[in-house]
Structure 1
Amino acid sequence: MFYFIIFTLLINTLAIITLTLDQQYQESNAFFKLTQSQYQVIQSIRNATFFFQPTQIDQDKYISVELIFGYPQDGNVNVEFSITKNKDDNTSSLNNVFYDMNGKYLQKAYQMILINPYTFSKNDQFYIDVNIRDTNFTDYQYLIKITRTQNKICPNFCGNQQSGSCNTKIGICACSSEFADLDCSKQAKSLLLQQPLKNLTIHKQEYFYFERDQSISNITLSLDLMNPLQKNSDTQVFIMYENFEIGLPNENFFDYSISLFNSTSQSQEIDLNTLIYDLNIERFQRLLITVKTKSSDLIQLSINISNVDDNFSIDSSLLIVYVLVSIAIILILAWIIIIIIRYKRSSRIHQISNSILNPQNDNNRSNYFTKNKKLFDEYMPKLLYLQILEIPQFLESEVQETCSVCLLEYQKDAICRFTPCNHIFHSDCLEQWIMKNENCPLCRCALDLKTLLELKSQNANIDNNSQQQKKKQKKYVVIQSQLFSNAQTELRMIAPNSMVNQ
C-alpha cells in the first residue's frame, strides 16, 4: 500500500510519461528507448524490454535503475528484473548482465540495479528486461526511474531514512532495530538469547533476527509447535547470515532451514563465527530468520547457547579449578618440605646440645676431649667467626659460610673453631664431633691426639731450630763486634808512632 501511494503521487505530481506495453507493442518487436529519467509503465504482456544510452558525462557516475510497483503489492510482485549491456551485439557476456536477486526472491514492490562508473562508454547501450512470472497474470503497473549520481545511493533511501541510515561510500543500509532487508523495508522482531518468543501466530511469513554477542560462537535455534495435537504443519524456517546481497532468507536462498512437517519440535545448531563486526554499519552482522507457513500456525521460537559453547564453558571452568587446585597442592607440598628441613636442622642442633649438656653419653670420648682441651685450644683455637675471617690464610681462600655439622649459616658473632686443615666449624659442633670422631667433618683429615702431638712436636722442633739459629746469629754478631773493637784499638796504637816517624 505504501508503494502504491508513492507511485500515485509521483505520477500525478510530475506528469510522468505513461508507457502502455500491450499486445500491439509486442507485435512491433521494437524496444522503447528511454530518454527521460522517469516513466509510468502499464505492462499487460509477459516480457517487456527498454533500453537507454549513457552520455559522455555519465562515465564517472553511478547509474541506478529503480522499479517502484504500484500494483501488485509488496510480496506479490513475481517478476525477473535484469539489465544487459550491449544486448544485441557480440560484446555482451554473462559479466554484463545485472540482476536484482533480492527483489526476485522476496517479490518486492521496490527493486533496484546499480551500474558502477567507468564500466561503460557513451557508445554502450543498456537493455532493461521486466519478465512477469506470475501464473495469475494481470496488468502490472510500475514506475521506472533512472538516476545518475556521484555517490552510491542506497536501496529506497533506506526507508526514507526512517528505518535505517545509508552509507553512501558503499551503498549499504544500516537498518535500525526492528527492521531488516536491503532497504530496511521489512519489520523484523529481535530474538534474544534464552528468551523464547511464545505463542507466535504466523500468517504467511514473518521475519526475525538475532544480533551476535562476541563471546558467543555457537547457538541452537529451536522451533516448537504450540498445539501438539496439530498434524502435518507446513511451517518452515529459513536462516541466513546477513550479507547485504540478499536481504532476507527464503526458500531459494538460505544457509540453514528447519521444517515442522510430521514433527512438533525441531532445532538447528548454528555457527556464528561467520558473523563479523562490520565497521561500515558499526555492529556485528545479524543472523536473519524467515518463518513461512501456508496456514496459520501457533509456534514458539527460541535461541539458546549450543552444547558446544556449554561444553567449552564447563571445560574452561574445570580447567581453572584444576589449575587453582594444582597451585594450592604445590604450595602446600613446598611448605611441608620447608617445615621438614627446618625440623631436621633444629633436631640436629637439639641433639648436639643435649649431647653437650649430658656428658654421660660417650664418657670415654668426653673425658678424652676434657683431658686434652688445652691441646685442642692451642691447635683449634676458639674465636669469633668475624675474627677468623681476618686470619691471613682465610683471607686468601674461599671461606665457608655454613657449618658442615649443623648445616646452619654462621653469624658474625658466632663462636667457632678452625682446624689445622683450615676448616671452620661452630665450637660446640666441633667439640661434639670430636667426642665421637677422630677426623675433620669436611675433609676427613686426622684430628686425633697422636696427630695433634706430632704437630706439636714438629712445631717444637721448628721453634728449637729457630731459637738455635737466633743464638748462633747472636754469637756471631758478638764475635764480629769484638773483632771490630780490637781492630780499632790496634789502629789507635799504631797511629802515634807513625806521626813521630814523620
Structure 2
Amino acid sequence: MIILIFLTFIHLTVNQKIEQTYQKVQGVQSFQIKNLTKDGFPQRSKIKISLTYFDGEIPILLLCLNKPYANMSMDYDSITKEQCYYDANAYEDNNKKQIVSLQDKLVMKKYHKNFNIYEFLENSIFVGAISKLQASYIIQAEIISIYSCSKECRNGGSCFYGVCECLKGTFGDDCSIQGLDILQQSTLSSNYLYYLDIKQLTGATFLRILSNSIPLRQQCYADKPQINHGTQILTNLLQIDHDRIQNCKNITLQVEEQMKVQQTPYYLFKISDQNSVEIFENNVQEVGISKIMLIVFIPLSIILFLLIICCCYKMFKNNSNLQQQKLQTEPIPTYVDIYIPTYKFQEIKDTDIHSMSIDHQYCSICLERFDLLNTVKITYCKHLYHSKCLKLWIEKIKVCPLCRAPLDEQTILSMQPPKSMTLIDQITNKSSNKLKPSNGSLSFFNNHNLTRFQNINYQRSLVCIDQ
C-alpha cells in the first residue's frame, strides 16, 4: 500500500512539474510542455513557465504563436512583431529569473497580459528561449492554482486572485520596480523611474517645464505596463492633457474590475539617455489655473448679477400683473355683501343666541351644521344662514327661505339700523352687557327689526320676487 501511494506521488510529481537544462547554447531553443497537458488543460489551474539564467548572455523566455526565426532581433518591437510575448520588465532589468504563465482561454480576460498571463493554445503555442551568444539556463514548467501568483509579490505587495496587488509607487507583475513621485521632485535623472498619481492632481491637466529638452518616455501604466516602452518624445515639457488623463483613469478602472485588484491610475516618465534635468517651473499648472479661473470668474459674475436683476424685474412685473388681474377678476360686492353683515359663527354663538331662530344650529339652505369657523349672515327676520348659501339664494329668490320675508335691496336698505346699533359694535362690547339687552345688543337689533318688519305690507312676504 505504501509503495502504491509512493508511486502515485511520483507520477503526480512528474506530471505536475517538468524542466530542461540548456548548457552553452545559442539561437532559438524550444521547450515541450505536452506532458503537462496530454490529459487536457487542468481546471482552475495555470501553467507557470520560468527561465533561470546561469551564465553567458541573458536569454529571453518566449511564448509565440509560431516558432520564431533564429535571426530575430532581441528587442521589444521585433519580438512583438513576431507575435511573441516575454517578461519584458524582468529581462530589461537583468533579472536572473523570467516568468510567464499560460491559462485556459475560458477564464482569460483582456488585461491578463498586464501580469504576463497568456492564453494557452494547444496546437500552435511555442515555448522556448532565444540568445544571440552562448548562454546557460534552465526552463521549468509546473501546474499551479489559478489563484496563486506565479511570482513572489515584493515591496509589500499582496497576492489576490492570482496577481500581485502593489503598494503605491511600485510596479511590475511582482511589484519589484520602484518609482519616485514626480510631484515631489526638483530634478529628473535617467537612473530612476518617475510616476504621477493622477488622483493627486488638483487640476484637469498636468504641466511641468524642464530646464532643457530631453528624450523622454511617458505612458499610462494600466495601458502599457512594460516600463521601458512608452511613447518617446524629445521635449522640455512634461505635459498630460485632460483627455489622456481621463483615458488612463478609465483603463485603470477596467483593470481593477477584471483582475479584482486595486490599482492606482499612474502616468510613468523615464528619461531615455544618461541625462539629468531640472524642473524649471513647478507651479505652472496652479498659476495657469488661477489665471484661467480669474479670467472666467469675473465675466461669469457679471453675467450672473445681470441675470439676477432680470429675474427680479420679471418677478416684480409678474406680481404686478397678477395683482391687476386679481383686482379685475374679483367679484363686485352686492347689496347682500354690503348691508347684511358677515360674522364668524363663534361670535354669534358667544352672544345672546337664545333670541335667534337656530334651535338645531343648521343652515336651512344647505342643511349642514354650523361650524365655529363658518362665516354666517343674519337676516332682519332673525334667521341664520351660511354667507355663501344666503348670497346664492338671494341671487335667485329674494325672500327668506324660512319665513318668506322679502330680501330685495329696497327692503334690506329700509331695515338698516343706525351705525351706533350695529352688531359689530355690540359683539365687540358683549362682555360688559351680556346679561341684559341694551340698545346695541343682538336682542335689541332683532326687536328693532321685528317692529319695522311688522309695519311692512305683510303681503309682500308671501310673494316670491325675481324668481
Which one has the largest radius of gyration? 1
Q: Please give the TM-score of this superposition, normalised by the length of structure 2.
A: 0.50
